[in-house]
Each structure stands twice: as C-alpha cells, then as structure tokens.
Amino acid sequence: MGGSVLTGMLHDGLTRRRMIAGGGVAGLAMAAGGRRAFAASENVLKIGFVSPRTGALAGFGQTDGYVLELARKSLAKGLTIGGKTYEVVILDRDSQSDPSRASQLAKTLINSDQVDLMLPISAPETINPVADACEAAGVPCLSTVMPWEAWYYGRGAKPGQPSPFKWTYHFGFGVHEFLETYVSQWSLIPTNRKVGVLYPNDADGNAIRHNLAPLLAAKGFTIVDPGPYEDGTDDFSAQIAVFKRAHCEIFNSFPLPPDFAAFWRQATQQGYARHVKICQVAKTGLFPSDITSLGRLGYNIASAAYWHKAFPYTSSLTGIGGEALANGYENETGKMWTQQLGASLALLDAGVTALQTSSDPKNKAAVAHALSVLKTITIAGKVDFTDGPVPNVSPGPIIGTQWVKAPPGSRFKLAYPVTEHATDPNVPIGAKLIPYNA
C-alpha cells in the first residue's frame, strides 16, 4: 500500500474509528465522566503505542487490548505533573509485523498526531523502524522486548564509540542475560553439550549469532551452525541433516513462529527431534498459541520469559501485581495468560514515569532527558538507564521456563513453570526442567 493511501486511511478511517471505539480523545473524555472531549493541545499528552497485533508476530500483540484498557482506566483522570493536570491519550497502532508499515505509522504519529512520547514494542520488525523515525524527527522513544544488541548495533551504533542516539531508549534482555539463562538451564539435564543452532538472517538472528554463540562456545558448548536462513523458509531438510550428523542433543533457535513450526514438524518427521534432550526456543515459543499449534510436539519445549506471573513486582501505573494481571486477563478473555501482558504494562509503567519525572512533559528534549536518567521499578522489575551496558540501554532479566502438559482438571492444556532464575533470583522456581523426550 502506498504511503499516501496509508496516510489517508489513518486520518480518514483509522483515527475516527479509534475515537469512536474509545481509543482516542473522545473515548478518554467519556471514560473520565463529563470531561470536555477536546482539551487545548498544551494540556494533552499523546503517547504512540506501536505493536504487531496481526501478521507473523501477532502473538506479541494478543494481550494489547487488555493491557491498554487497564492503562487508560488508570490514566482517565489525567496526570498531574508540576502542579498541572494533563489529559493522556494513548494512540495504539498495529504494525502488522511489517517494518515498512511500522515506519509509516511512526511518521504519521509524529507528523500528524504529534505524539509527545513513542512506545514501540516487540521484535526488531516493529521497534527498529519506529525508533529510527523518532531519532530522525527528535521525538522521545522508549521500547522493550527484543535483544538490546539488535536494537543498538542493529541500528548503526558501533562498539566502543559514542552512542549515535539522542532520542531513543530501550530496556530489557540482551546477550548476557541469554548466556546466563542458557548456561543455567542447559546444566539442569545431562547432555553431550552439542548445540544445533538455527538462527535466521534477520536482526535478531544475526545479533545472536555474532554475540551469543561465541560466548556459549567459551562455556564449553559445541555450536553446530548450518548458517543463516531466510525468514519464510519452508524446507529445513539440509539443516536437520547437519544436526543429525553432529548428534546435537540441544537445539536452540530464534525464529518467527511459522518458521519454527515448519522446522519442528520436519525435524520430527526426519527423526531428529527424538534425539533432542533440550529444545530451547526464543522469539517463538513465547506464547501458548505458538505451542498449542504444535499439538503434542509442543510439550516440554523449553522457553525463556522476559516476564512471568511469578515476578514479585507491581505495576507503578495500575498498582496490579503479576498474579492479578494474569488472572484478570484469563477471566476476561478465556485465554491463558502470556508473558507479553507484563512486558507491555512495564513499557507503559516506565513511559508514564518518564513523563512524570520530566521537567516539562510537553518538551521533547526534557522527556528524552528524563528517559536517559530513568530509574524505576515496573511490573517486570528494575529499569535503570544510569547503569546500562551501553548508553541508551537498561538491561533486564530473562528467566528459564518450560511448556508442560497441565495437570488433570486444569483450565488450560498447558502449564508454564519457571525452571531457573539466574538473571533474577527474586523470581521463584516452580518446577524442574524435563527432558524434551521424557
């Protein structure tokens, strides 16, 4: 779809529909009970929230509606900052898992909607193009849920050189957290320590290949890498043959969900999966839908969580804890909770805190500065930009987990216990890791 058509659709269709549905200024005013629908622009704070609600990465956006409703309710009476009360409007947009669309949405939010803060979330395909648009336009931007190396170096920063970014900030896990988690998780079951890796030729895959794989090798694991593959590949016979010849008892991948589903079914058909003791996946395998789509092949797949309902933290925006957030979502939707619930709420926690701690939330430079020194606790744990591995980045935990068959009488088919907690010992361990073919 051409840029002019998309822009017109956003203004003439999407924006009006969102207002009617309660996602715009009018809906917020009604929720607040009698407040005037359109306040003066200097009294309104606009937050752009961009995520993949459809497309290959739709699992990341499944819980958006619920989380955004909680946030809007908490913000219905506005934010009082420096003695002045501001109305807060969250403009949420669906990137459709498409980098080009994410970039265009960001530009529209910047130029037409004139957002004061941008909050993109979930994977490089959405986050990086939105962050790039914000950096170019001088709009403060905070993001989470992708390896920070793919965000920082993937957007042009160079090791050992000053940060090229003034307006964009990111918090969450990186290679160091994956290393700690995987070394901890993979030590829970005896294996031959041979790891078959399937890393795609994309921002995540390339960051992991160049940064994580050498560190795993230094820890005594033999890395068997048949080379990068293109997203959307539907035949993995060559890679499976390599893993079988090397007798890789550990498998690790960072694929798009459809790619992993194709690979794992083929790995089962071609006899590789039965030799795997630990199947450790990231990016896919994060959500119940990814696993249930595999049927019985999904049981005992190991994963990692950037948020879990067992996290012992509370949302600074809503006052909700992990168990309450998960239970509320399940009761309202009838679907099993996902780790994205806490991650999305954590982004809103941190973003709103930055607005509150800025000297002037309508001054973009002031908000960017507030992000650069932000130090707070969200429902996902600590965010601290004063102590990052590089400028513009605050590291965060990722903990070992596993998808197992739920006990009889359970509401859902799956359970998702914590199996290790090297990157955040405050999170309680819930179960022992089970070999994939147990």
Could you list the residue range(s) of the whole structural domain that residue 45 is in?
3-173+314-395
Ramachandran angles phi, psi of 323, nearest 5°: -65, -40
Please indicate, yes or no, whether residues 194 and 275 belong to a single structural domain of this protein.
yes
| CA separation for the pair 70, 80 (Å, rounded) | 19
Please indicate, yes or no, whether residues 192 and 106 belong to a single structural domain of this protein.
no
- Asked if residue 377 belongs to a domain, the reply is yes
Please indicate, yes or no, whether residues 43 and 7 belong to a single structural domain of this protein.
yes
Total count of domains within the chain:
2
Please indicate, yes or no, whether residues 289 and 384 belong to a single structural domain of this protein.
no
Per-residue pLDDT, averaged over 108-114, amounts to 98
Predicted confidence (pLDDT) at residue 37 exceeds the cutoff of 60: no
- For residue 379, what is the domain's CATH number? 3.40.50.2300
pLDDT grade, residue 256 (50/70/90)?
confident
Position 21, amino acid: A
pLDDT grade, residue 421 (50/70/90)?
very high
Predicted confidence (pLDDT) at residue 5 exceeds the cutoff of 90: no
- Asked if residue 272 belongs to a domain, the reply is yes
Please indicate, yes or no, whether residues 106 and 249 belong to a single structural domain of this protein.
no
Please indicate, yes or no, whether residues 354 and 209 belong to a single structural domain of this protein.
no
Q: Which residues pair with 84 in a beta bridge?
A: 81
| CA separation for the pair 172, 162 (Å, rounded) | 20
Least confident of 114-123, 158-167, 200-209, 362-371: 200-209
Please indicate, yes or no, whether residues 33 and 157 belong to a single structural domain of this protein.
yes
CB-side neighbour CA atoms (13 Å) of 59: 22
Q: 107, 50 in Cβ contact below 8 A? A: no
Please indicate, yes or no, whether residues 27 and 126 belong to a single structural domain of this protein.
yes
Please indicate, yes or no, whether residues 188 and 138 belong to a single structural domain of this protein.
no
- Asked if residue 104 belongs to a domain, the reply is yes
pTM for the full model? 0.87
CB atoms within 10 A of CB 78: 18
292 exposure class (CB count in 10 Å sphere: 0-12, 13-18, 19+): middle
For 270, the 3-state DSSP assignment is coil
- Asked if residue 297 belongs to a domain, the reply is yes
- Asked if residue 266 belongs to a domain, the reply is yes
* Mean pLDDT estimate for the chain: 91
Instruction: Say how far residue 303 (Cα) sits from the centre of its chain.
Output: 14
- Asked if residue 82 belongs to a domain, the reply is yes
pLDDT given for residue 40 in this prediction: 66
Predicted confidence (pLDDT) at residue 205 exceeds the cutoff of 50: yes
Please indicate, yes or no, whether residues 16 and 50 belong to a single structural domain of this protein.
yes
| CA separation for the pair 280, 185 (Å, rounded) | 9
| CA separation for the pair 103, 388 (Å, rounded) | 27
Please indicate, yes or no, whether residues 363 and 409 belong to a single structural domain of this protein.
no
The 10s digit of each residue's pLDDT in 275-327 is 999 999 998 889 999 899 999 999 999 999 999 999 999 999 999 999 999 99
- Asked if residue 234 belongs to a domain, the reply is yes
In 3D space, the residue among 265, 288, 252 whose CA is nearest the CA of residue 59 turns out to be 288
Per-residue pLDDT, averaged over 376-394, amounts to 97
Please indicate, yes or no, whether residues 157 and 187 belong to a single structural domain of this protein.
no
Predicted confidence (pLDDT) at residue 132 exceeds the cutoff of 80: yes
Say which residue, 200 or 26, is predicted with more confidence. Answer: 200
In 3D space, the residue among 138, 48, 133, 170 whose CA is nearest the CA of residue 367 turns out to be 138
Instruction: Say how far residue 196 (Cα) sits from the centre of its chain.
Output: 25
pLDDT given for residue 250 in this prediction: 98
Which residue in the block uniquely carries the two structure tokens 């509606």?
Answer: 65
Instruction: Say how far residue 46 (Cα) sits from the centre of its chain.
Output: 22
pLDDT given for residue 26 in this prediction: 35
For 107, the 3-state DSSP assignment is helix
- Asked if residue 349 belongs to a domain, the reply is yes
